[in-house]
Structure 1
Amino acid sequence: MSPKSLCFTVLVAVFSVLASRVVINPTPQVLKYVVDFGLTISSSPSIVAMFIPFDFDDLRRHHKNPDKGKPVSVCEDFPPNFPPPETNTTLTLCVDRNGCCNFTTVQAAVDAVPNLSIKRTVIWINSGIYYEKVIVPKTKPNITFQGQGYTSTAIAWNDTALSANGTFFSGSVQVFSTNFIAKNISFMNVAPIPHPGDVGAQAVAIRIAGDQAAFWGCGFFGAQDTLHDDRGRHYFKDCYIQGSIDFIFGNGKSLYEGCQLLSMANPVAPGSKSINGAVTAHGRASADENSGFAFVNCSVGGTGRIWLGRAWRPFSRVVFALTSMTDIIAPEGWNDFNDPTRDQSIFYGEYNCTGAGANMSGRAAYVQRLNDTQASVFLNTSYIDGDQWLLSYDT
């Protein structure tokens, strides 16, 4: 068995165990599971992966009839007459690992989308883990990835900056097209969890490098550099984002609304002043760039002692508004990348946040406590010109 096949087999086995032992709570924050297991695969190091409890009960039902004990077709319960026929506005393609519809891999479905199509192509992805690297090129605009729930459908891969010849190329999924939408699906990078300072261990779950992208009810799982919000205008609604170091980074102009941000940095001893994580690393390089991250009505929790952001580039811009924060946030809140010359050019603001981590009395001098007028720019989809392009969830 090849290393990738073995890794996938273990993924399925561990998800099965988790699903059999865990009652899924609708609160995403309880869905963090860190499973550390060692495998000897030639000279490969131990595999350390983050998992969420996938519902395998449905998969088991497909393989056995509980009443008669007779095997049945894995496709017996598959929706009839699916996918629906193509219309003037929409093409639907179907992905199922068991071969119950058009494609067995997500990349094969993406490849089948007509180039430069003005139609919305919905790629409906059945429950399961799709262990593959997926690239959506510029020539494939207007694509929707429709999963069956972010605890039921996932695309996973295990590249790192070292294996992919750069952090930017390590993404399990890389989106370069415009008007991309994802609903109810998870993006995972299951590479080994790095220690702070490890070289070449950055491992991106998804890179979004196209304009006008929207994510509804999605999960993003990794450790260092989980979500590469690279460039363009993006919207994240009711998403779950997990990581440890700079786990939301890039130079996008993005609104995160109602999202749960969970640090999985190692716990620190009470009273320790050491820092072992950061939520954001925004990459705005000049005052002329119209970019920045805005987090509204979100929550920040988990483990470690972390910053809300650090200034990856000298004009880094991030705002947290109406967001709850636990005490894992260090009192200074932010970091200028240890370069005081950036203090006059970065824009880090907070507005009416709550929780033990939102106490601004010890914040770094360059952090701004925004008033109503200053904050209003960042509080809704007008920040990303959503009235011009953002579709409703049901579209």
Structure 2
Amino acid sequence: MHTACTMSSSLSPTQMLLLLLSLCICKISLASSSSSEDDAFRRWVSWNVENYRRETSSNAMLTAQAPGIPGKKVVDWKLWKAEMSKIRKTVSQDGTGDYRTVSEALNSIPAFNTRRVILVVKPGIYREKINVPRQMSFVTFLGDSTSPPTITGNDTASVTGRGGTPLKTFQSATVAVDADYFVAINVKFENTAPHEVGSLGEQAVALRISGTKAAFYNCSFIGNQDTLYDHKGLHYFNNCFIQGSVDFIFGYGRSLYENCHLNSVTKKVASLTAQKRTNASLASGFSFKNSTITGSGLLYLGRAWGDYSRVIFSYTFMDRVVAPQGWSDWGDPKRDARVYYGEYKCSGPGANTTGRVPWATMLTDEEAQPFLGTYYIEGDTWLPSL
């Protein structure tokens, strides 16, 4: 892993000044006599700040020009080619489209697809269990913004699947996306299975996203326990509504959530996120920016599913539903020195930090910077322009 103390002879004077500032942070951090968890956090933040600057500079130098499109920066050529040859197919339950179900439309796409396929899904309730397989990249679900289609199911982790074994959380998803470059716009993903406090096997995923470079705009994710399985990869969520009770956003993903509404329906105490970063070298974590937290019960911002769980909230309104402690180590105090939980310029009664756990950190302007833009998920090279 690189550190904030790495030097580069190719940096401009301005970049060199910024790098020296990072060096100061690094030195102050290493020399600090405070607790070990604070030292670890500061070293990690310093690395993130410098890594952000280094990657930003590198992308500016290495991006190529797309043929015939002056000034357009392109790094991901596979994506650019797919967008240049996109096609549309229509899904409508009344038979006026190309297909009546989303599954039928997906089955029409050839394996190892290399072009953007936009499935225009007409309004309606689609009771389907859907999987976008790994070899089916570049698929878009496009709904109507005034009347978004709903894809719904009610499987849980304890439901018996093929072979007589339980589905478990991974296979409980109403919609599972294993492919890369997936996009959904104006779609509601739902799992209606109920959750009773204290019951086991009731994980009921509305959507699991396991492919990388996926984006969701104006989508809703409705469920109770484990609603959105942000499994792995680079992901972007904009203007989305996400509702649940227990760990309703969870996984290993490296994801940016902007302008999202996060709503709790827990009856007692639960957690909004369960981010499973299992070692310090994993480049994963959830960043929430300009979002809103509301709902019922008492809600932790996150609990440490993994020993190195990483979650950041910035510019987010937190209603009274947020527990004063803010964060949970899932009953394992050893994780207090390893997790990276940060807050930056949040507001609302739930953002009062008086009762926060001592191992959560209020970030400075510089420390928060790496998590505030799409560069956090390398989005400048792959996010589609709508």
8 Å CA contact 1:150–1:217 kept in 2: the answer is no
The aligned residue for residue 263 of structure 2 is: 262
The aligned residue for residue 387 of structure 1 is: 380
Within 5 Å, give how 1:1-395 maps onto structure 2: 89-149=85-145, 151-163=147-159, 164=161, 165-191=167-193, 193-266=194-267, 276-392=269-385, 394=386
8 Å CA contact 1:151–1:185 kept in 2: the answer is no
Structure 1 residues without counterparts, runs of 5 or longer: 1-86, 267-274
Secondary structure of 2:114 counterpart: coil
Structure 2 residues without counterparts, runs of 5 or longer: 1-82, 162-166
1:145-192 Cα offsets, whole Å, 9 max, x none, are 00113853110011000015210110000000000000000000011x
Q: How many Å separate the matches in 2 of 1:129 and 1:276?
A: 32
Q: How many Å separate the matches in 2 of 1:199 and 1:219?
A: 25
8 Å CA contact 1:318–1:348 kept in 2: the answer is yes
Q: How many Å separate the matches in 2 of 1:349 and 1:88?
A: 40
Q: How many Å separate the matches in 2 of 1:152 and 1:240?
A: 13
Match of 1:319, as an amino acid?
I
Match of 2:328, as an amino acid?
N
Match of 1:174, as an amino acid?
A
Deviation of 1:88 (Å): 6.2
TM-score by length of 1: 0.74
Q: How many Å separate the matches in 2 of 1:381 and 1:166?
A: 33
Match of 2:324, as an amino acid?
P
Change (3 A) 1:151 1:265: farther
The sequence identity of aligned pairs, in percent, is 44
8 Å CA contact 1:261–1:299 kept in 2: the answer is yes
Secondary structure of 1:245 counterpart: coil
1:30-49 Cα offsets, whole Å, 9 max, x none, are xxxxxxxxxxxxxxxxxxxx
Q: How many Å separate the matches in 2 of 1:114 and 1:201?
A: 35
Secondary structure of 2:197 counterpart: coil
1:103-162 Cα offsets, whole Å, 9 max, x none, are 111011111112222210000000000001000001100000001138531100110000
Secondary structure of 2:196 counterpart: coil
Runs of 4+ in 1 over 2 A off after TM superposition: 149-152
1:21-69 Cα offsets, whole Å, 9 max, x none, are xxxxxxxxxxxxxxxxxxxxxxxxxxxxxxxxxxxxxxxxxxxxxxxxx
The structure carrying a bigger helix percent of its residues is 2
Secondary structure of 1:168 counterpart: helix
1:290-321 Cα offsets, whole Å, 9 max, x none, are 00000000000011111000001111000000
